[in-house]
Amino acid sequence: MIDRETPGTAAARLTGCAVAGERPLSGAVTEVALDGGQLVIVKGDTAPGAVRAEAAGLRWLADAGTVRVPAVRGVDEHWLVTDHVRTGPPSARAAVRFGRDLAALHASGAPAFGAPPPGGPADAYIGLAPMRNVPATEWPNWYAGQRVLPYLRRAVDAGTLRHTEATVVERVCERLPRLAGPAERPARLHGDLWNGNVLWGADEHVRLIDPAAHGGHRETDLAMLHLFGCPHLPEVLDGYQESAPLAPGWTDRIGLHQLFPLLVHVVLFGRGYAEQALSVARAALAG
């Protein structure tokens, strides 16, 4: 149906409200004004299960009652309608609050590492890349087998990484039980927590969008915030540590947790991210 509907007509059908106008924000995302003045965001995707996975992730994060997310107003196989977020400048006060809320989100837990949100498919996505959610009881083997190695193999098969380079990452995976630090309970993760998915609200509350939600290690979300930068990141971490102190040595493990998103970027965007992925793998082995 995505090829026969506009975002406006999809919004009208899914919300039951008349549409007053629409404004494209990107190729897949449109801001739609409903009759009465309320703004919603309409996202279209033809990838099987993609928008339903995103909607399930948003609802799972919202159910924790911790971090704020835009409410899901409607969803079907190809369209997702959520509330619009009015943004403002980042502030240190909002950052500390966000850190506390993120810690509470993680503490709300998940049934297992790799557990999908309730109602979410096993075959989900991180950005444009497929991502399988296969539950497991131990983080190191799950992280290697379900997050790092699938993207490493894709990068090698595409010729983006050489076989000799891949062995560095494979050695990291072999040593993960020793490198992973103290065991942690499965955390409820946003799963794709880079700065573009952190919206600083005009009301000084952060909202999170575009999750790749699953059960995982809480340090992974924090490593994502470090990877591409985040306004007031020291304050975010202060708020987090006040609520849920991280295990000793967590900063030494940031690169380990960045291997997954970096390899996703190698697969999606090519060789430009390969050296960064190999660099953090070498650093993890050297540590």
Positions marked catalytic: 192
CA distances from 25 to 22, 35, 40, 42, 53 (A): 10, 19, 12, 10, 22
At 220, the amino acid letter reads T
3-class SS at 16?
Answer: coil
Query: What does the block give as tokens for 249?
Result: 């040595």
Q: How many CA atoms lie within 13 A of 163 on its CB side?
A: 0
Q: Exposed/middle/buried for 19, CB within 10 Å: 0-12, 13-18, 19+?
A: buried
User: CB neighbours of 232 closer than 8 A, spacing ≥ 6?
Assistant: 90, 91, 92, 94, 95
Helix axes 92-107, 233-243, angle to 10 degrees: 40
Cα–Cα distance, 140 to 149 (Å, whole number): 12
Going by C-alpha positions, the residue among 109, 125, 62, 104 that lies closest to residue 242 is: 104
C-beta neighbour count of 214 within 10 angstroms:
33
